[in-house]
Amino acid sequence: MVHDLLVRGFDDEIHLQLGELSKEKGVSINSIVKDAVDKWLKQQQSDNPKKHYLLIYSNDDSILGLLKSMDRLAKESDLFRCFCGPPSTNSSKLLSKLHWYNGIVMPYYYETTKNIKGQNQNQKIQSQKGIMSYCSKVMENIGNNANNKQVCCIDFFINDIAKSSLQQALKIEKVYDDSRIPGLMYCTYKTETLLSAEIKDLVELFEGHDQVFILKNDDVYKLHITKENVHKLFLN
């Protein structure tokens, strides 16, 4: 739908220059102003990136070392440092000690491992309805505390969701991807959570993020996922 926009504050000199430029270029003043607005909006989008990354790790030692490095870089970039994860984990304890904001709503959605794996089918259906609402509250917490800053957010909660149902985690990933917040979002999964997953679900998970990173001890590797034809299997 097209809307009219009233622009105030142009003096006679600027209006005259716009008129002369309009005649010279053979375009209307409306087109000039619209082009300027479009360029400004694109500039704002590029200045406020909304990145959605996937981070896979296998043990506490590798992720804790990375978190310390990310803390330093986030401080240097003046980002709002936040995370969402169960308070009892080593990762959450470290980030809290480093004064990162935990957006998790208490009590934590998954209190015990039994709650994740011991549900019957009816309980799972009911819990899936509540997960989306819980995630919305977590994101609302982060947004309300970010003070209009771009965020550096590390999501550990998504791994617990995937333990119960990777398909449910993928739905939540899709919802976030459609309404990203300004800054950097890192969705973290442990390898043990993903090893038994269907290939189609893994591919969907990879393709749902801007970039995929894997931790090996202190090293960070970036994965490139591309769809190929079968004949590529026979090429040197």
Q: Where are the beta strands (DSSP E) in the chain?
A: 50-57, 80-84, 101-102, 151-155, 183-190, 211-216, 219-223
**Computed over its alpha carbons, how large is the radius of gyration of the chain?**
23
Say if residue 195 is in the same domain as residue 101. yes
Banded model confidence at residue 126, pLDDT cuts 50, 70, 90: low
DSSP 136: H
Say if residue 28 is in the same domain as residue 134. no
Between β-strands 219-223 and 211-216, what pairing exists: parallel, antiparallel or unpaired? antiparallel
What is the mean predicted confidence (pLDDT) over 105-119? Answer: 66
The pLDDT value recorded for residue 203 is 95
Say how far apart CA 193 and CA 195 lie, in whole Å.
6
The CATH number of residue 143's host domain is: 3.40.50.11570
User: For the packed helices 12-25 and 29-47, what is the interaxial angle rounded to 10 degrees?
Assistant: 100
Say if residue 56 is in the same domain as residue 97. yes
Say if residue 39 is in the same domain as residue 113. no
Say if residue 24 is in the same domain as residue 73. no
Using the predicted structure, report yes or no on whether residue 111 has a pLDDT greater than 80.
Answer: no
Say how far apart CA 171 and CA 168 lie, in whole Å.
5
CA triplet 187, 188, 192: central angle to 5 degrees? 140
Say if residue 120 is in the same domain as residue 203. yes
Say if residue 74 is in the same domain as residue 178. yes
The pLDDT value recorded for residue 113 is 39
Give a yes or no: residue 70 inside a domain: yes
Using the predicted structure, report yes or no on whether residue 107 has a pLDDT greater than 60.
Answer: yes
163: its two tokens: 């333990």
Listed in sequence order, the residues at least 6 apart from 207 whose beta carbon sits closer than 8 Å to its beta carbon are 225
The pLDDT value recorded for residue 37 is 64
pTM (2 decimals)? 0.75
> How many C-beta atoms surround the C-beta of residue 91 within 10 A?
19
Give a yes or no: residue 232 inside a domain: no
What is the mean predicted confidence (pLDDT) over 142-146? Answer: 94
Say how far apart CA 125 and CA 134 lie, in whole Å.
15
Give a yes or no: residue 230 inside a domain: no
Give a yes or no: residue 4 inside a domain: no
What is the mean predicted confidence (pLDDT) over 133-145? Answer: 94
The structural domain count of the chain equals 2
Q: What is the pLDDT of residues 21-61, one digit of tens each?
A: 777 777 777 777 777 666 655 554 455 689 999 999 999 98
User: What is the domain extent for residue 96?
Assistant: 49-223
